[in-house]
Amino acid sequence: MKKILVVDDSALMRRVICDIINADSNFEAKDTCRDGLEAYERLKTTSYDGVVLDVNMPRMDGLQLLEKLQEERIRANVIMVSTLTTKDAEITMMALERGAIDFVTKPTNVIEAKGEAFGNQLLSVLSAVLKISPSARPTTTQRPAATRPNSVERTATQSQGTVKSSYSVMSTQKQKPANVTRLRATGKNKLVALACSTGGPKALQDVIPNLDANMDAPVVLVQHMPKGFTKSMADRLNEISKVHVKEAEDGEKLQKGWVYVAPGGKHIEVVKAPDGSHKIQFNDMPAIGGLKPCANIMYDSLSKTGYDEIVCVVLTGMGADGTNGILSLVQHKPIHVIAQNEETCVVYGMPKAIADSGVVDDVVPLKEVAKTIIKSVGVN
Protein backbone atom coordinates (compact mmCIF):
# COMPACT_ATOMS: atom_id res chain seq x y z
CA MET A 1 0.00 0.00 0.00
CA LYS A 2 1.38 3.41 -1.02
CA LYS A 3 1.52 5.98 1.78
CA ILE A 4 0.51 9.52 0.80
CA LEU A 5 1.04 12.87 2.54
CA VAL A 6 -1.73 15.43 1.87
CA VAL A 7 -0.78 19.11 2.18
CA ASP A 8 -3.53 21.75 1.96
CA ASP A 9 -4.53 24.73 4.10
CA SER A 10 -8.23 23.88 3.78
CA ALA A 11 -9.48 21.35 6.33
CA LEU A 12 -12.33 20.46 3.97
CA MET A 13 -10.01 19.77 1.03
CA ARG A 14 -7.71 17.71 3.22
CA ARG A 15 -10.66 15.58 4.30
CA VAL A 16 -12.03 15.20 0.74
CA ILE A 17 -8.62 14.29 -0.70
CA CYS A 18 -7.98 11.81 2.11
CA ASP A 19 -11.37 10.19 1.53
CA ILE A 20 -10.60 9.80 -2.19
CA ILE A 21 -7.18 8.30 -1.48
CA ASN A 22 -8.39 5.94 1.23
CA ALA A 23 -11.22 4.65 -0.99
CA ASP A 24 -8.54 3.03 -3.17
CA SER A 25 -7.02 -0.07 -1.60
CA ASN A 26 -3.67 0.73 -3.20
CA PHE A 27 -3.25 3.94 -1.18
CA GLU A 28 -3.38 5.26 2.35
CA ALA A 29 -3.58 8.96 3.25
CA LYS A 30 -1.03 8.47 6.00
CA ASP A 31 -0.64 12.07 7.22
CA THR A 32 -1.89 15.59 6.54
CA CYS A 33 -0.29 19.04 6.88
CA ARG A 34 -1.84 22.50 6.87
CA ASP A 35 0.95 24.29 4.99
CA GLY A 36 4.35 23.89 3.39
CA LEU A 37 6.29 24.60 6.56
CA GLU A 38 4.56 21.81 8.46
CA ALA A 39 5.10 19.50 5.47
CA TYR A 40 8.77 20.46 5.30
CA GLU A 41 9.31 19.47 8.93
CA ARG A 42 7.46 16.19 8.34
CA LEU A 43 9.39 15.33 5.17
CA LYS A 44 12.73 15.87 6.90
CA THR A 45 12.03 12.85 9.11
CA THR A 46 9.41 10.76 7.31
CA SER A 47 9.34 9.21 3.84
CA TYR A 48 6.14 8.90 1.79
CA ASP A 49 5.50 7.24 -1.53
CA GLY A 50 3.72 10.36 -2.74
CA VAL A 51 2.82 13.91 -1.71
CA VAL A 52 -0.36 15.70 -2.82
CA LEU A 53 0.53 19.39 -2.54
CA ASP A 54 -1.60 22.53 -2.74
CA VAL A 55 -0.21 25.64 -4.46
CA ASN A 56 -1.43 28.53 -2.27
CA MET A 57 -0.87 28.17 1.49
CA PRO A 58 0.17 30.44 4.37
CA ARG A 59 3.67 30.50 5.91
CA MET A 60 5.18 28.38 3.10
CA ASP A 61 3.42 27.74 -0.21
CA GLY A 62 3.83 24.76 -2.50
CA LEU A 63 6.52 26.38 -4.64
CA GLN A 64 8.58 27.41 -1.62
CA LEU A 65 8.33 23.88 -0.21
CA LEU A 66 9.63 22.40 -3.45
CA GLU A 67 12.54 24.84 -3.41
CA LYS A 68 13.42 23.77 0.16
CA LEU A 69 13.22 20.10 -0.77
CA GLN A 70 15.44 20.73 -3.78
CA GLU A 71 17.99 22.71 -1.75
CA GLU A 72 18.26 20.01 0.90
CA ARG A 73 17.99 17.12 -1.55
CA ILE A 74 14.93 15.65 0.12
CA ARG A 75 13.33 13.27 -2.38
CA ALA A 76 9.55 13.26 -2.80
CA ASN A 77 7.09 12.29 -5.53
CA VAL A 78 5.01 15.46 -5.58
CA ILE A 79 1.66 15.89 -7.34
CA MET A 80 0.47 19.52 -7.36
CA VAL A 81 -3.20 20.43 -6.91
CA SER A 82 -3.78 23.69 -8.77
CA THR A 83 -6.76 25.88 -9.63
CA LEU A 84 -7.43 27.06 -13.17
CA THR A 85 -6.39 30.65 -12.50
CA THR A 86 -3.63 32.19 -14.63
CA LYS A 87 -1.49 32.84 -11.55
CA ASP A 88 -1.77 29.27 -10.26
CA ALA A 89 -1.07 27.89 -13.74
CA GLU A 90 2.16 29.91 -13.90
CA ILE A 91 3.17 28.76 -10.41
CA THR A 92 2.40 25.15 -11.35
CA MET A 93 4.74 25.37 -14.35
CA MET A 94 7.49 26.67 -12.06
CA ALA A 95 6.69 23.87 -9.60
CA LEU A 96 7.33 21.31 -12.33
CA GLU A 97 10.75 22.88 -12.89
CA ARG A 98 11.45 22.52 -9.19
CA GLY A 99 10.71 18.84 -8.94
CA ALA A 100 6.94 18.27 -9.00
CA ILE A 101 6.10 15.31 -11.22
CA ASP A 102 2.62 16.30 -12.40
CA PHE A 103 -0.53 18.12 -11.33
CA VAL A 104 -4.29 17.79 -11.11
CA THR A 105 -6.78 20.65 -11.35
CA LYS A 106 -8.39 21.71 -8.10
CA PRO A 107 -12.19 21.86 -7.88
CA THR A 108 -13.75 25.30 -7.44
CA ASN A 109 -16.32 24.15 -4.87
CA VAL A 110 -17.21 21.36 -2.47
CA ILE A 111 -19.64 19.64 -4.85
CA GLU A 112 -16.94 19.35 -7.53
CA ALA A 113 -14.39 18.23 -4.94
CA LYS A 114 -16.64 15.35 -3.91
CA GLY A 115 -17.54 14.52 -7.49
CA GLU A 116 -16.31 11.51 -9.42
CA ALA A 117 -14.28 13.50 -11.97
CA PHE A 118 -11.81 14.97 -9.48
CA GLY A 119 -11.44 11.69 -7.61
CA ASN A 120 -10.81 9.76 -10.81
CA GLN A 121 -8.28 12.32 -12.00
CA LEU A 122 -6.33 12.28 -8.73
CA LEU A 123 -6.29 8.48 -8.45
CA SER A 124 -5.29 8.07 -12.10
CA VAL A 125 -2.31 10.38 -11.76
CA LEU A 126 -1.24 8.82 -8.45
CA SER A 127 -1.53 5.34 -9.96
CA ALA A 128 0.49 6.30 -13.03
CA VAL A 129 3.21 8.16 -11.16
CA LEU A 130 3.54 5.53 -8.41
CA LYS A 131 3.45 2.67 -10.92
CA ILE A 132 0.20 1.00 -9.88
CA SER A 133 -0.74 -1.43 -12.66
CA PRO A 134 -4.29 -1.33 -14.09
CA SER A 135 -4.92 -4.86 -12.76
CA ALA A 136 -4.28 -3.62 -9.23
CA ARG A 137 -6.96 -0.94 -9.44
CA PRO A 138 -9.98 -1.11 -7.09
CA THR A 139 -12.97 -3.36 -7.69
CA THR A 140 -16.38 -1.91 -8.50
CA THR A 141 -17.18 -1.75 -4.79
CA GLN A 142 -14.56 0.94 -4.44
CA ARG A 143 -14.10 4.32 -6.10
CA PRO A 144 -13.07 3.48 -9.65
CA ALA A 145 -10.12 4.88 -11.52
CA ALA A 146 -10.76 7.14 -14.47
CA THR A 147 -12.46 5.03 -17.10
CA ARG A 148 -11.82 5.74 -20.73
CA PRO A 149 -12.92 3.62 -23.66
CA ASN A 150 -10.37 1.49 -25.45
CA SER A 151 -11.63 2.78 -28.76
CA VAL A 152 -13.93 5.46 -29.99
CA GLU A 153 -15.32 6.44 -33.34
CA ARG A 154 -14.87 10.06 -34.18
CA THR A 155 -16.60 11.90 -37.02
CA ALA A 156 -15.14 15.11 -38.37
CA THR A 157 -16.61 17.13 -41.21
CA GLN A 158 -13.83 18.56 -43.35
CA SER A 159 -13.68 20.26 -46.72
CA GLN A 160 -13.05 16.92 -48.41
CA GLY A 161 -16.11 15.33 -46.81
CA THR A 162 -16.81 13.33 -43.70
CA VAL A 163 -13.94 11.29 -42.30
CA LYS A 164 -14.39 8.49 -39.77
CA SER A 165 -11.48 7.11 -37.81
CA SER A 166 -11.33 4.61 -34.96
CA TYR A 167 -8.84 5.51 -32.24
CA SER A 168 -7.57 3.32 -29.41
CA VAL A 169 -6.80 6.35 -27.30
CA MET A 170 -6.17 4.88 -23.87
CA SER A 171 -5.73 1.20 -24.61
CA THR A 172 -2.73 -0.35 -22.87
CA GLN A 173 -2.90 -3.53 -24.93
CA LYS A 174 0.13 -4.36 -27.02
CA GLN A 175 -0.22 -3.11 -30.57
CA LYS A 176 0.47 -5.44 -33.49
CA PRO A 177 3.54 -4.41 -35.50
CA ALA A 178 2.56 -2.26 -38.45
CA ASN A 179 2.75 -4.40 -41.58
CA VAL A 180 3.22 -1.54 -44.00
CA THR A 181 5.86 -0.56 -46.52
CA ARG A 182 7.68 2.51 -45.23
CA LEU A 183 7.66 5.39 -47.66
CA ARG A 184 10.91 7.21 -48.39
CA ALA A 185 11.26 10.94 -48.02
CA THR A 186 11.86 12.64 -51.37
CA GLY A 187 12.51 16.17 -50.10
CA LYS A 188 13.68 18.18 -47.11
CA ASN A 189 10.43 19.89 -46.12
CA LYS A 190 9.82 18.36 -42.68
CA LEU A 191 7.54 18.80 -39.68
CA VAL A 192 8.00 17.62 -36.10
CA ALA A 193 4.82 16.36 -34.37
CA LEU A 194 5.25 15.68 -30.65
CA ALA A 195 2.85 14.07 -28.15
CA CYS A 196 3.06 13.61 -24.37
CA SER A 197 0.88 13.35 -21.28
CA THR A 198 1.61 12.50 -17.62
CA GLY A 199 5.11 13.75 -16.81
CA GLY A 200 5.16 15.65 -20.09
CA PRO A 201 5.38 19.24 -18.84
CA LYS A 202 8.53 18.38 -16.91
CA ALA A 203 9.95 16.26 -19.75
CA LEU A 204 9.42 19.05 -22.26
CA GLN A 205 11.78 21.24 -20.25
CA ASP A 206 14.55 18.80 -21.20
CA VAL A 207 13.56 18.82 -24.87
CA ILE A 208 12.28 22.17 -26.15
CA PRO A 209 15.03 24.39 -24.62
CA ASN A 210 17.65 22.17 -26.27
CA LEU A 211 16.29 22.53 -29.81
CA ASP A 212 18.41 24.63 -32.18
CA ALA A 213 17.02 28.09 -32.95
CA ASN A 214 17.70 27.42 -36.64
CA MET A 215 16.08 23.99 -36.78
CA ASP A 216 14.80 23.35 -40.29
CA ALA A 217 11.21 22.49 -39.34
CA PRO A 218 8.27 23.74 -37.28
CA VAL A 219 7.02 21.73 -34.28
CA VAL A 220 3.39 21.01 -33.38
CA LEU A 221 2.90 19.71 -29.87
CA VAL A 222 0.03 18.02 -28.03
CA GLN A 223 0.33 17.86 -24.25
CA HIS A 224 -2.73 16.67 -22.35
CA MET A 225 -3.49 19.71 -20.17
CA PRO A 226 -6.51 21.85 -19.29
CA LYS A 227 -7.25 25.21 -20.83
CA GLY A 228 -5.07 27.93 -19.33
CA PHE A 229 -2.20 25.67 -18.36
CA THR A 230 -1.08 25.20 -21.97
CA LYS A 231 -0.51 28.94 -22.40
CA SER A 232 1.45 29.15 -19.17
CA MET A 233 3.52 26.16 -20.24
CA ALA A 234 4.18 27.64 -23.69
CA ASP A 235 5.13 31.03 -22.24
CA ARG A 236 7.50 29.46 -19.74
CA LEU A 237 9.14 27.26 -22.38
CA ASN A 238 9.52 30.30 -24.61
CA GLU A 239 11.42 32.11 -21.85
CA ILE A 240 13.98 29.33 -21.49
CA SER A 241 14.30 28.17 -25.13
CA LYS A 242 16.23 29.23 -28.21
CA VAL A 243 13.27 28.39 -30.46
CA HIS A 244 10.05 30.41 -30.34
CA VAL A 245 7.30 28.69 -28.34
CA LYS A 246 3.66 29.76 -28.26
CA GLU A 247 0.16 28.46 -27.70
CA ALA A 248 -1.23 27.74 -31.16
CA GLU A 249 -3.86 30.02 -32.69
CA ASP A 250 -6.51 29.01 -35.19
CA GLY A 251 -5.41 29.81 -38.75
CA GLU A 252 -1.82 30.80 -38.02
CA LYS A 253 0.91 29.90 -40.50
CA LEU A 254 3.60 27.43 -39.40
CA GLN A 255 7.17 28.71 -39.42
CA LYS A 256 10.43 26.81 -39.08
CA GLY A 257 12.07 27.20 -35.68
CA TRP A 258 8.72 27.70 -33.94
CA VAL A 259 6.89 25.36 -31.55
CA TYR A 260 3.07 25.47 -31.53
CA VAL A 261 1.39 24.06 -28.41
CA ALA A 262 -2.17 22.79 -28.80
CA PRO A 263 -4.45 24.80 -26.46
CA GLY A 264 -6.18 22.91 -23.68
CA GLY A 265 -9.76 22.22 -24.74
CA LYS A 266 -8.99 22.31 -28.49
CA HIS A 267 -7.92 19.62 -30.92
CA ILE A 268 -5.46 20.85 -33.53
CA GLU A 269 -4.94 19.84 -37.14
CA VAL A 270 -2.35 20.91 -39.69
CA VAL A 271 -3.77 21.82 -43.09
CA LYS A 272 -2.17 22.84 -46.36
CA ALA A 273 -3.04 26.33 -47.60
CA PRO A 274 -3.61 27.18 -51.31
CA ASP A 275 -0.21 28.92 -51.48
CA GLY A 276 1.58 25.73 -50.35
CA SER A 277 2.19 26.86 -46.80
CA HIS A 278 0.68 25.11 -43.79
CA LYS A 279 -1.45 26.42 -40.98
CA ILE A 280 -3.02 25.38 -37.69
CA GLN A 281 -6.72 24.56 -37.77
CA PHE A 282 -8.76 24.03 -34.62
CA ASN A 283 -11.10 21.07 -34.45
CA ASP A 284 -13.80 21.51 -31.82
CA MET A 285 -15.20 17.99 -31.86
CA PRO A 286 -15.82 16.43 -28.41
CA ALA A 287 -13.02 15.01 -26.29
CA ILE A 288 -11.86 11.57 -27.39
CA GLY A 289 -11.45 9.16 -24.49
CA GLY A 290 -11.45 12.18 -22.19
CA LEU A 291 -8.66 13.86 -24.18
CA LYS A 292 -8.88 17.32 -25.72
CA PRO A 293 -6.45 17.93 -27.31
CA CYS A 294 -5.97 14.42 -28.66
CA ALA A 295 -2.68 13.56 -30.41
CA ASN A 296 -4.35 11.06 -32.75
CA ILE A 297 -6.32 13.88 -34.37
CA MET A 298 -3.14 15.88 -34.93
CA TYR A 299 -1.31 12.92 -36.48
CA ASP A 300 -4.32 11.93 -38.57
CA SER A 301 -4.47 15.41 -40.15
CA LEU A 302 -0.85 15.24 -41.31
CA SER A 303 -1.55 12.63 -44.01
CA LYS A 304 -2.99 15.35 -46.28
CA THR A 305 -0.20 17.88 -45.76
CA GLY A 306 2.56 18.72 -48.22
CA TYR A 307 5.45 17.83 -45.93
CA ASP A 308 8.03 15.42 -47.33
CA GLU A 309 8.54 13.73 -43.97
CA ILE A 310 6.95 13.86 -40.53
CA VAL A 311 9.17 13.35 -37.49
CA CYS A 312 6.86 11.87 -34.83
CA VAL A 313 8.01 12.17 -31.22
CA VAL A 314 6.29 10.38 -28.33
CA LEU A 315 7.23 11.18 -24.74
CA THR A 316 6.05 10.03 -21.30
CA GLY A 317 2.32 9.61 -20.71
CA MET A 318 -0.54 7.33 -19.70
CA GLY A 319 -2.38 5.29 -22.30
CA ALA A 320 -1.71 5.05 -26.01
CA ASP A 321 -2.77 8.38 -27.53
CA GLY A 322 -0.81 9.00 -30.73
CA THR A 323 -0.18 5.39 -31.70
CA ASN A 324 -3.17 4.86 -33.98
CA GLY A 325 -2.69 8.28 -35.56
CA ILE A 326 0.94 7.46 -36.36
CA LEU A 327 0.02 4.00 -37.68
CA SER A 328 -2.46 5.68 -40.01
CA LEU A 329 0.04 8.36 -41.02
CA VAL A 330 2.77 5.83 -41.94
CA GLN A 331 0.54 4.54 -44.75
CA HIS A 332 0.42 7.98 -46.38
CA LYS A 333 3.66 9.77 -45.52
CA PRO A 334 7.33 9.07 -44.89
CA ILE A 335 7.78 9.25 -41.13
CA HIS A 336 10.62 9.01 -38.64
CA VAL A 337 9.49 7.99 -35.15
CA ILE A 338 11.36 8.87 -31.94
CA ALA A 339 10.19 7.41 -28.61
CA GLN A 340 11.41 8.15 -25.10
CA ASN A 341 12.91 5.12 -23.40
CA GLU A 342 11.28 3.40 -20.43
CA GLU A 343 14.00 4.26 -17.92
CA THR A 344 13.51 8.04 -18.24
CA CYS A 345 9.69 8.07 -18.48
CA VAL A 346 7.52 9.08 -15.54
CA VAL A 347 4.86 6.84 -17.11
CA TYR A 348 5.85 4.36 -19.82
CA GLY A 349 2.48 4.21 -21.54
CA MET A 350 2.38 6.23 -24.75
CA PRO A 351 6.03 5.49 -25.70
CA LYS A 352 5.50 1.78 -25.00
CA ALA A 353 2.39 1.68 -27.20
CA ILE A 354 4.21 3.17 -30.18
CA ALA A 355 7.32 1.04 -29.53
CA ASP A 356 5.17 -2.11 -29.49
CA SER A 357 3.62 -1.09 -32.82
CA GLY A 358 6.86 -1.77 -34.68
CA VAL A 359 7.31 1.64 -36.35
CA VAL A 360 9.80 3.31 -33.99
CA ASP A 361 13.15 4.30 -35.48
CA ASP A 362 14.89 5.66 -32.37
CA VAL A 363 14.33 4.83 -28.69
CA VAL A 364 16.35 7.33 -26.69
CA PRO A 365 16.72 8.71 -23.14
CA LEU A 366 14.92 11.99 -22.48
CA LYS A 367 18.09 14.06 -22.61
CA GLU A 368 18.86 12.67 -26.08
CA VAL A 369 15.47 13.52 -27.60
CA ALA A 370 16.29 17.09 -28.72
CA LYS A 371 19.56 16.02 -30.33
CA THR A 372 17.79 13.18 -32.14
CA ILE A 373 15.11 15.58 -33.44
CA ILE A 374 17.75 17.98 -34.80
CA LYS A 375 19.62 15.09 -36.38
CA SER A 376 16.40 14.13 -38.16
CA VAL A 377 15.38 17.57 -39.45
CA GLY A 378 18.69 19.46 -39.64
CA VAL A 379 19.33 23.19 -39.29
CA ASN A 380 19.22 25.97 -41.87
Tell me which of 69, 97, 131 is where a domain ends: 131
Q: Is residue 119 part of a domain?
A: yes
Question: Same domain, yes or no, for 251 and 288?
Answer: yes
Q: Is residue 20 part of a domain?
A: yes
**Rounded CA separation 282/266 (Å):** 6
Q: What is the pLDDT, as a whole number, of residue 180?
A: 66
Residue-number span of the structural domain to which 170 is assigned: 157-377
Question: Same domain, yes or no, for 199 and 321?
Answer: yes
**Rounded CA separation 256/214 (Å):** 8
Cβ 64 vs Cβ 35: under 8 Å: no
Q: What is the pLDDT, as a whole number, of residue 149?
A: 32
Q: Name the helix (H) or strand (E) containing 350.
A: helix 350-356
Q: Is residue 142 part of a domain?
A: no
Question: Same domain, yes or no, for 76 and 219?
Answer: no
Q: Is residue 60 part of a domain?
A: yes
Q: What is the CATH number of the domain that holds 92?
A: 3.40.50.2300
Q: What is the CATH number of the domain that holds 178?
A: 3.40.50.180
Question: Same domain, yes or no, for 251 and 189?
Answer: yes
DSSP state of 141: T
Q: Is 276 exposed, middle or buried (0-12, 13-18, 19+ CB in 10 A)?
A: exposed
Q: What is the pLDDT, as a whole number, of residue 33?
A: 98
| DSSP 3-state of 113 | helix
**Rounded CA separation 207/27 (Å):** 33
Q: What is the pLDDT, as a whole number, of residue 179?
A: 62
Q: What is the pLDDT, as a whole number, of residue 134?
A: 54
**Number of domains observed in the structure of the chain:** 2
Question: Same domain, yes or no, for 213 and 333?
Answer: yes
Question: Same domain, yes or no, for 73 and 168?
Answer: no
Question: Same domain, yes or no, for 84 and 188?
Answer: no
Q: Is residue 103 part of a domain?
A: yes
pTM comes to 0.85
Question: Same domain, yes or no, for 169 and 256?
Answer: yes
Q: Is residue 138 part of a domain?
A: no
Catalytic residue ranges: 197, 224, 321
Q: Is residue 151 part of a domain?
A: no
Tell me which of 70, 97, 131 is where a domain ends: 131
Question: Same domain, yes or no, for 72 and 34?
Answer: yes
Helix orientation angle between 11-22 and 116-129, rounded to the nearest 10 degrees: 60
Degrees to nearest 5, angle at CA 204 with 54 and 124: 45
Q: Is residue 292 part of a domain?
A: yes
Tens digit of pLDDT at every position of the chain (380 positions): 999 999 999 999 999 999 999 999 999 999 999 999 999 999 999 999 999 999 999 999 999 999 999 999 999 999 999 887 778 888 888 998 899 999 999 888 888 889 898 999 999 999 998 987 654 544 433 333 333 333 333 333 333 333 334 444 433 344 444 566 788 877 789 999 999 999 999 999 999 999 999 999 999 999 999 888 999 999 999 999 999 999 999 999 999 999 999 999 999 999 999 999 999 999 999 999 999 999 999 999 999 999 999 999 999 999 999 999 999 999 999 999 999 999 999 999 999 999 999 999 999 999 999 999 999 999 99
